[in-house]
Each structure stands twice: as structure tokens, then as C-alpha cells.
Chain A
Amino acid sequence: AQSVTQPDIHITVSEGASLELRCNYSYGATPYLFWYVQSPGQGLQLLLKYFSGDTLVQGIKGFEAEFKRSQSSFNLRKPSVHWSDAAEYFCAVRSNDYKLSFGAGTTVTVRA
């Protein structure tokens, strides 16, 4: 069965600093990977996705992620965070039957 691990429960970063959120997955076949963001009390917004091809994918809001098959990782990065990036971030892997399995999430706090 597929699973996702997000090792960091909480990350604090200064505004303007870079951000990297880790995601490791377990899946037997070629994974379809996603990053979603959730603001407090809100639903999930898709940031980016990886299906195939270029292993560095660009998303919305200046985020990017890199798929590394050898490390079973799909880490999310942003070069310079804004206060509005404070939220919870979820990595997910899609199974063959279109079902998503999510990690437990990483909460990002941005300090001025």
C-alpha cells in the first residue's frame, strides 16, 4: 500500500528566507505526486503535481518541487517566503485507482 511521510511537523522560517519541506513516499509503481496547501479552516489548494517527465516541477505561488526516484522523495521548495505562505502543507501520492494518500502535514510559520 502507498504511504507518505512528512518528517517535519512544524517549520518556522523568516520572511524572505528560503523554505524546503520534505516528503518521502512509498509506492510500488511510478508515483503520481502532489503538494497541497491548506490555510486554517479552509480546504486544500493544489500547489503542483508530478506525473512524469521533467523531475523539477513548477507550481503556483512561486513553489517548485523535485522528484527523486532514488530517494523516494518529492521535496517542496520556495526561494523566498512571504507572510502569506504561513499554512499547512500536505504531500500526497495517488494510487492506481485515483485515491490520494496524504502525509500528516507540515505547518509553516513565517516570522517577520
Chain B
Amino acid sequence: DTGVSQDPRHKITKRGQNVTFRCDPISEHNRLYWYRQTLGQGPEFLTYFQNEAQLEKSRLLSDRFSAERPKGSFSTLEIQRTEQGDSAMYLCASSLGGLEGNTIYFGEGSWLTVV
């Protein structure tokens, strides 16, 4: 079990550029989540997938954000036309379904700084 892996860990980008983050969940975890965390706050839910299906999207996820999980394994989170307000840590998490799915495991996060 190698844990949830995220890449890149840090990204600095200019306002207006597009960025993409990748998440590799724990193997055999069929649920995958994205959260966003700003300084001094707890993580906030963005979206989640069961296998390749995106089952819920938060209102925080504007139309500049898109997440995919094409084969039910890794996931990408893309932010288009970045704004300074997008600066945050983007956390990926995964879990099993069923009762064991009650425990959600988080990755190390991807820090985004928009300048």
C-alpha cells in the first residue's frame, strides 16, 4: 500500500494559465475525492468519483474546474484561466466502497500559487 499519491506537489503559475493536477489513489479504492484547503481553514469538498463516474460536484467547483477519472484509477483536476483566488492546496483522497469506505485516506496535497 503506497498511499495516495499527488503530482506535482507544488505549482506556481501566472494568472490566466491552465494547470492540471494528478492523483493516484490507493490501489483497489473505487472512490476518489478532491478537496481544497486554504490557509487557516479546514479542507472543503470539491467532487468525488465512484470508479469513473463523477457522482457529486460542489458549488465551489466553478466551470473553470474540471475533474476526470477516465479508467476508474487515477484522476486529474484541471483549472483553466487560473485566478489568484485559486491559490490553495488541492487534496486528493480515496476510499473503498461499503462499510470500509467510511475511512478516507488523503494524499500529501498539491500546492497551487497563482501570481
A interface, CB within 8 angstroms of B: 4, 32, 34, 36, 41-46, 49, 51, 90, 92, 94, 97-105
- CB-defined contacts of A103 to chain B, threshold 8 Å: 42
Q: List 7 A-B contacts (CB under 8 A).
A: A36-B106, A43-B6, A43-B106, A49-B103, A99-B48, A99-B56, A105-B40
Contact in complex: A46, B102 (CB < 8 Å): no
Interface contacts beyond A36-B106, A44-B91: sample of 6 additional A-B pairs, CB < 8 Å, sorted by A = A41-B111, A43-B4, A46-B103, A49-B102, A98-B101, A100-B104
B104 contacts which of A4, A51, A90, A98 (Cβ < 8 Å)? Answer: A98
Instruction: Name the prevailing secondary structure of the A interface residues.
Output: strand
Contacts A99-B48, A99-B56 hold; do A32 and B105 have CB atoms under 8 A apart?
no
Q: Closest B-chain residue to A4, C-beta based?
A: B42
A46 to B111 CA separation, bound complex (whole angstroms): 20
Interface residues of B in 41-77 (CB under 8 A from A): 41-45, 48, 56
Contact in complex: A104, B45 (CB < 8 Å): no
Q: Closest B-chain residue to A41, C-beta based?
A: B111
Give the shortest distance, in Å, between A21 (CB) and chain B (any CB).
Answer: 13
- CB-defined contacts of A51 to chain B, threshold 8 Å: 102
- CB-defined contacts of A92 to chain B, threshold 8 Å: 42
Q: Closest B-chain residue to A107, C-beta based?
A: B40
Give the shortest distance, in Å, between B83 (CB) and chain A (any CB).
Answer: 23
- CB-defined contacts of B103 to chain A, threshold 8 Å: 34, 46, 49
Q: Is B78 an interface residue (CB 8 A)?
A: no
Contact in complex: A43, B41 (CB < 8 Å): no
Contact in complex: A99, B31 (CB < 8 Å): no
B109 contacts which of A36, A42, A102, A104 (Cβ < 8 Å)? Answer: A42
Q: Closest B-chain residue to A105, C-beta based?
A: B42
Q: Please list the 5 inter-chain residue pairs (A to B) with the smallest Cβ-Cβ separation, ordered nearest first.
A: A102-B42, A44-B106, A43-B108, A43-B106, A43-B109
